[in-house]
Amino acid sequence: MTTIELPARRPRLHNPSLFREIVETVILIGLVYTLVNLATVRFYIEGPSMQPNFWAEQFLIVSRVHYLFGNPQRGDIIVFDPPGDDDSANNPLLIKRVIGEPFDVIEIREGQVYVNGVPLNEPYIKEPCTTSSCNDSRWELGADEYFMMGDNRNNSRDSRTFGPIVRERIIGEAIVRYWPLTDLGLVTRYRFPD
């Protein structure tokens, strides 16, 4: 006598209710929104210090994650909390370009910026430095210090005013310009030759 085996019954898939689908979607959106907000900051440009590359009333997305796995590099455009009256509402975050890295020697001679004795080629600046903030000066950076300068050298409050900043004051790197929509795009870092 032969026995015929019947195929095993497939388990029945559970069809979730519409309410459950909506709740799961809302939770997923909330998690994604939270992760994006932990990893990035929105930044509003208020003044002319980064012209001609950034203009007042532009909005940027700043990545907090970039510097978890590496350090700022010369040419990066970063947002940071400048030293000084930290308890004041009149001490906003600033956006500047990294000019000096730890242990660099930064000099300004006759309006020209030098890094470790080599003149810095800066095609991104608005105009050569001519104001009193460009007087001949020299800074020797420590192990955890960075030197920041605005691209509009004649109209920028930067490390020439408040000195080098320490690493812990850096918020993150500007990565996307998203408003106005006509300016939408990635923020590119100027790569200095080695």
Q: What is the pLDDT of residues 178-194, one digit of tens each?
A: 998 898 898 887 887 76
Asked if residue 135 is part of any domain, the answer here is: yes
Which of helix, strand or coil describes residue 109?
strand
Asked if residue 26 is part of any domain, the answer here is: no
Asked if residue 33 is part of any domain, the answer here is: no
What CATH number did the domain enclosing 145 receive? 2.10.109.10
Selected catalytic residue, list 63, 88, 96, 132: 96
Reported for 87-95, long-range contacts at CB under 8 A and 24+ positions apart, including other chains, are 92/46, 93/43, 93/171, 94/49, 94/148, 94/157, 94/158, 95/43, 95/45, 95/49, 95/50, 95/54, 95/60, 95/174
Amino acid in position 136: D
List, in sequence order, every residue forming a beta bridge with 166; answer none if it has no partner.
Answer: 145
Selected catalytic residue, list 49, 63, 156, 159: 49
Asked if residue 74 is part of any domain, the answer here is: yes
Q: Answer for the pair 96, 49: CB distance below 8 angstroms, yes or no.
A: yes
Rounded CA separation 188/123 (Å)? 14
Asked if residue 20 is part of any domain, the answer here is: no
- Write down the pLDDT at residue 87: 57
What are 90-143's pLDDT values in tens digits? 678 899 999 999 999 999 998 899 999 999 998 999 888 887 777 889 999 999
Confidence of residue 176 (pLDDT cuts 50, 70, 90): very high
Q: 88 an active-site residue?
A: no
Q: Which domain holds residue 129?
A: 43-186
What are 8-57's pLDDT values in tens digits? 666 666 666 888 888 888 989 888 888 877 777 888 888 899 999 999 99
Rounded CA separation 55/166 (Å)? 26
Query: In total, how many domains does the chain have?
Result: 1
Residue 163 burial (CB < 10 Å; 0-12/13-18/19+)? middle
Q: 63 an active-site residue?
A: no
Q: Answer for the pair 114, 106: CB distance below 8 angstroms, yes or no.
A: yes
Asked if residue 29 is part of any domain, the answer here is: no
Cis peptide before 52 (omega within 30 of 0): yes
Asked if residue 27 is part of any domain, the answer here is: no
The secondary structure element, H or E, covering residue 31 is helix 18-39
Asked if residue 163 is part of any domain, the answer here is: yes
